[in-house]
């Protein structure tokens, strides 16, 4: 009987230690950002699509993160987002206080092995994914009033400001070439907002903006007769086929414009390569990430916050007018899309050859 009491006392002591240990573990797993400031890094100048995305989400992130931290936007433009991404990789702590809003201009140089890249895009912890679209537009000074007159642009000198040959602008450059448009490109702009500024000042007569920036900044110019939309980047249906962007149903896709010019649907190697870049560049364009070494409890806390944000009634009521109707993803769905978007591209050799021939840019 004495042994029985000893056994029961032992298990009672063990149980109390186990419960206490779990209570401490749960306490350590909790995350509280009270009194903290979180930096959402935008790797471009103010005013572009990445800025719009950050500005819209930041107040809600503050609302739903535990402790209601202040979320501030920090701009680090340079090298088509590579400067900020390299700095984030090197310096960002794993305490959940530094976020990087990436775009395809961050992803494409990584996938192509751009020697300026020192970050590992595949190792960051994704919190939110934002597929988006975009619109290409021109100045009415070129003598057209509708995309239906695009044939008149052939033979005219079109001027376009680019963030860099391996940035998201590479998709546009290939599109211009596919349409047989004579485009003179100047490099060095620090984000698409700067490209729009060059357009507004008459330095460029051809430009593109992602959907959120187009809706806010370019649509008013269209309504005033200061810009003529040519085509949207389109969207992908459930079978992966290119369709008109539901946000811009009145605008054709590049495929439709090509058919208008040539009398037949696009096909061939050049089209296939452009389409594969479109899928990577716009179908999974923007992602919000934490450093690779961030503890899981902090990652989970952010996912839980974004799950609440995406169903917030006020957020849902305002989102389409600011960001468009594209569905944002968090949690496992975001992780899956993020991983799919960074698979090695089968057309790397073709892209590298194009960059060498067109821009004298050799990628290792």
* The pLDDT of residue 295 is above 80: yes
**For 152-190, how does the pLDDT look when each residue is reduced to its tens digit (9 = 90+)?**
999 999 999 998 888 888 899 889 999 999 999 999 898
**For 247-290, how does the pLDDT look when each residue is reduced to its tens digit (9 = 90+)?**
999 999 999 999 999 999 999 888 888 887 887 788 788 999 99
Sign of CA dihedral 186, 192, 197, 202: positive
Which H or E run contains 240? none
pLDDT category at 56 given cuts 50, 70, 90 is: very high
Residue 214 has a pLDDT of: 95
CA 312 to chain centre: 22
- CA-wise closest residue to 260 among 150, 109, 126, 118: 150
Which DSSP state fits 253?
B
pTM score: 0.75
Residue 35 has a pLDDT of: 98
Give span(s): CATH 3.40.190.150, the chain.
37-132+285-341
Phi and psi at residue 153, in whole multiples of 5°?
-80, -20
- Which of the residue ranges 29-38, 68-77, 319-328, 340-349 would you say has the lowest mean pLDDT? 340-349
Q: What CATH number belongs to 134-281+347-359?
A: 3.40.190.10
Give span(s): CATH 3.40.190.10, the chain.
134-281+347-359
| 3 state SS of 97 | coil
Residue 122 has a pLDDT of: 93
Say whether domain 37-132+285-341 belongs to CATH 3.40.190.150. Answer: yes
CA 187 to chain centre: 20
Residue 346 has a pLDDT of: 65
pLDDT category at 84 given cuts 50, 70, 90 is: very high
* The pLDDT of residue 306 is above 70: yes
Residues for the chain: how many in total?
Answer: 364
Residue 226 has a pLDDT of: 98
Gyration radius of the chain's alpha carbons: 24
Residue with tokens 């040959």, as numbered in its chain: 165
CA distance 279 to 284: 7
The mean pLDDT value for 294-319 works out to 97
Phi and psi at residue 82, in whole multiples of 5°?
-65, -40
Q: Are 165 and 80 in contact (CB under 8 A)?
A: no
pLDDT category at 21 given cuts 50, 70, 90 is: very low
pLDDT category at 22 given cuts 50, 70, 90 is: very low
DSSP output for 139-172 = -GGGS-SSGGGGGGGTTS-EEEEES-TTSTHHHH
């Amino acid at each position: 009987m004495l042994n029985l009491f000893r056994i029961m006392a032992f298990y009672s002591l063990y149980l109390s230690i186990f419960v206490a240990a779990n209570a401490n573990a749960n306490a350590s797993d909790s995350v509280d950002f009270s009194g903290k400031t979180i930096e959402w890094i935008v790797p471009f100048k103010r005013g572009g699509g990445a800025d719009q995305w950050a500005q819209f989400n930041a107040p809600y992130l503050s609302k739903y993160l535990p402790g209601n931290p202040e979320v501030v936007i920090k701009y680090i433009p340079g090298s088509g987002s590579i400067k900020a991404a390299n700095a984030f990789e090197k310096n960002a702590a794993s305490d959940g206080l530094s976020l990087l809003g990436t775009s395809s201009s961050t992803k494409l140089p990584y996938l192509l092995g751009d020697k300026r890249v020192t970050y590992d895009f595949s190792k960051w912890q994704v919190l939110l994914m934002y597929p988006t679209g975009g619109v290409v537009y021109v100045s009415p000074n070129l003598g057209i009033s509708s995309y239906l007159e695009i044939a008149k642009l052939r033979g005219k000198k079109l001027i376009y400001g680019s963030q860099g040959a391996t940035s998201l602008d590479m998709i546009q450059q290939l599109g211009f070439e596919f349409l047989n448009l004579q485009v003179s490109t100047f490099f060095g702009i620090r984000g698409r907002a700067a490209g729009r500024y060059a357009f507004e000042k008459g330095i460029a007569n051809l430009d593109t903006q992602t959907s959120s920036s187009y809706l806010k900044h370019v649509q008013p110019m269209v309504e005033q007769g200061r810009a003529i939309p040519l085509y949207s980047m389109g969207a992908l249906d459930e079978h992966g086929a290119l369709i008109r962007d539901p946000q811009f149903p009145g605008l054709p896709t590049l495929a439709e414009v090509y058919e208008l010019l040539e009398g037949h649907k696009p096909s061939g190697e050049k089209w296939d390569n452009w389409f594969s870049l479109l899928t990577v560049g716009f179908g999974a364009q923007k992602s919000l990430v934490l450093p690779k070494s961030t503890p899981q409890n902090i990652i989970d806390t952010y996912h839980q916050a974004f799950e609440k944000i995406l169903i917030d009634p006020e957020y849902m009521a305002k989102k389409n007018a600011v960001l468009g109707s594209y569905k944002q993803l968090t949690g496992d769905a975001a992780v899956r899309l993020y991983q799919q978007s960074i698979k090695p591209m089968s057309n790397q050799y073709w892209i590298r050859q194009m960059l060498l021939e067109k821009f004298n840019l050799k990628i290792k």
